Each structure stands twice: as C-alpha cells, then as structure tokens.
Amino acid sequence: MTKILIIYTGGTIGMVNDPLTGALIPFDFVQIQKNVPELARLNYDLDIHSFDPILDSSNMDPEIWAQLAGIITNTYAVYDGFVILHGSDTMAYTASALSFMLKNLSKPVVLTGSQLPIGEIRTDAKENLITALEIAATKNNGVAMIPEVCIYFDYQLFRGNRAIKYNSEKFEAFKSPNYPILAEAGVNLSFYNNYINHQPSEPLILQSTFNTNIGVLKLYPGINQHTVEAITKSAVGAIIMETYGSGNTTTAAWFIDALQEAVRSGKIIVDISQCQGGSVELGKYETSKKLQQMGIVSGFDMTFEATITKLMYLMGQGLTNEEVSSLMEQSLRGELTA
C-alpha cells in the first residue's frame, strides 16, 4: 500500500472561528480528518506529523524549513510521498527553499493549503488536500510521476520554485508566470511529463544551512541616494535588486557609484525584474550595460521567492562570492531559464 506522510504546519486549511473574538485560530489535524471523511476511502497508508505549536505561515523562517526538510530526509525511506499543509502566504518561499535543500529528490513533496478554512461550507480545502495526496501517490512503472517540490492549488500543480501567490481572495491563489504547470486536475489527473524535472538517481542529500544576511533594494521613480545607500552601505552580504522591465535601472551617476562601491566591498548584487513575467537581460538596453560591466548577477526569470531562498542557500554553503554568483545564474532545480 502506498505510504504518504502528511506534515501539518498550520495555515488557513486548519483554522476555525474563535466564537469570542471572531478571529481565525488553528486547531489540530484530528478535526481536519473529521471534516474530510473521504480520507478514509483513499487506499493509502497515511501518517500524520503535526507541528506543535501550529504555525501561522507569516512566522515561517529558515529554522522551520530545516525542520521540514529534516522530517522528510529522516523518513525518506519509509514513505512514497509527502504532503505539507501550509499557509498560503509564504508557501512559495517554503517550496522554493525545500527544492534547494533536498538535493537529488526522487519523491513527491507537495505543498497545499486553502483560502477558506476546512470547516466552511464553500471551502477549497477538501479538493486541494485530496488531490495533493493523489498526486503524491501517483507512480508510473513504480517511479514517482512528480519527483519534485510542488505546490498544488485550485486544480493546478506548479513547480514550487516557479510559483508565486498572486491573489489573496480567489481560490486560484497561485500562478507560475515563467514556467508551465506540471499537472492539472479535471475528470482525470493530467501530467505534463515534458515539464517535470528529474534529478540524478542518487541518494538524497540534505543541505539545510542558510545565510539570511541579505538586503532588498526595490527601485522606483524618485528613489533617492540616501535610500539606496541605506542598503548598499549596510552590513548585508548580498542584495537583491528589483529593477524595471528586463533588468533596467536609473543611470544617475550617484546610483551607479553606489552599486560599484557595494560590489567592490564584496557584496553580491542580484538583478531580478519587478515584472512577474519575462526575464532579466543585462546589456539589452543601455540602462543595464553598466550593471553587466560591473559584475551584477542576472536573476533571469526567477521569482523573488526563488531568488532569495536560493541566495540564502548558496551563501550558507561556504562558497566564495564568485562561486555563489556563478551558481545564481545556473539552474539548480529548474528555478530559472538561462
């Protein structure tokens, strides 16, 4: 019998209304089981690991990512797949982080949750949970169909490090602007094999050391020198710079000087676009040629979530700045199109 481990971290899927305050508060997984009697009809051997205390996903951090990755690694030989119930607000960050931490992954790790609590009449939680379990259990000739860290939400399966949460009100809360979906749930489960990433058939390796000493510089018309230098002259080891269009910035002399000084001081600067779709192309326009010349790293079409977790991951591996910069521009887990 297929064995699946459900890891319950918290999130809207496991919330109920507090009759005294009207606020949503978490409850335990036993109550989820009572609200989804269909679980008993699935022909899977299900085990549950509940976090204690249950977490709001706004409190997610690298230590908890390491716990999640450790649970998966320590039980990897026992289970055919893993389903993580997680709050949607930081789900894409967790999925991206896990994709980098679990090297040589050959089993499904499917994150899901819901926009409405599981006890609500119109909840999306039941379908998301049941289909996530089916995806985690699906094999082809004894091999997992989806040997990746993924997000399943509202009938679509996304590569975890390609997904973003774009809507806080619709059931279709996630999308993948720069990569096709991996599967779709209709009358049948349809898997799109051409887009599924298969890592080398080697033992799973856990790499859970992260360095979070990273700053974020988001450009906007009218940004001033004081604001920019508050980031570029800070003690961070790396900066993610959210630029315009295909990687363009202002060419004001004070701005270029601030970036050059930051690079000379040993900071890694990664250029990603503020646009959800498309890719950074350093040097395509005059406004980004100087960035390319001074050694700014291209984030290509990575999401912000993938960029920051990848940078945390690489900086935590004891690599040189040159090695980190080089690997940031390479696809490690299908997170970018170079």
Single pTM value for the model = 0.95
Residue 205 and residue 281: Cα distance in Å, rounded?
Answer: 33
* Domain boundary residue, one of 206, 240, 261: 206
In this structure, is residue 337 part of a structural domain? no
184 and 80 both lie in a single domain: yes
Residue 175 and residue 179: Cα distance in Å, rounded?
Answer: 9
The CATH number given to whatever domain includes residue 84 is: 3.40.50.1170
What pLDDT is recorded for position 270? 98
In this structure, is residue 169 part of a structural domain? yes
In this structure, is residue 338 part of a structural domain? no
44 and 19 both lie in a single domain: yes
Q: E strands along 146-278, which residues? A: 149-153, 156-159, 164-165, 174-175, 183-185, 189-191, 205-206, 214-218, 238-243, 268-273
190 and 260 both lie in a single domain: no
| Amino acid letter for position 77 | A
In this structure, is residue 30 part of a structural domain? yes
Residue 71 and residue 74: Cα distance in Å, rounded?
Answer: 5
H/E run at residue 229 = helix 225-232
Q: Is the pLDDT of residue 27 over 70?
A: no
Provide the pLDDT confidence category of residue 9 given band limits of 50, 70 and 90.
very high
73 among known catalytic residues: no
222 and 251 both lie in a single domain: yes
CA 206 to chain centre: 17
* Domain carrying residue 290: 214-328
Instruction: Indicate the number of domains in the chain.
Output: 2
Residue 313 and residue 231: Cα distance in Å, rounded?
Answer: 21
The CATH number given to whatever domain includes residue 284 is: 3.40.50.40
190 and 276 both lie in a single domain: no
In this structure, is residue 336 part of a structural domain? no
What pLDDT is recorded for position 289? 87
247 and 133 both lie in a single domain: no
In this structure, is residue 101 part of a structural domain? yes
Residue 84 and residue 153: Cα distance in Å, rounded?
Answer: 12
188 and 255 both lie in a single domain: no
Task: Give the mean pLDDT of 135-159.
Answer: 96
What pLDDT is recorded for position 250? 93
Interior/surface letters 217-230, b for 16+ CB within 10 angstroms, e for the rest = bebeeeeeeeebbe
Retrieve residue 208's tokens: 């859970």
Selecting among 2, 9, 12, 112, the annotated active-site residue is 12
pLDDT tens per residue, range 38-61 = 888 888 999 999 998 888 899 999
231 and 132 both lie in a single domain: no
pLDDT tens per residue, range 295-336 = 999 999 999 999 999 999 999 999 999 999 999 999 999 999
pLDDT tens per residue, range 76-113 = 999 999 999 999 999 999 999 999 999 999 999 999 99
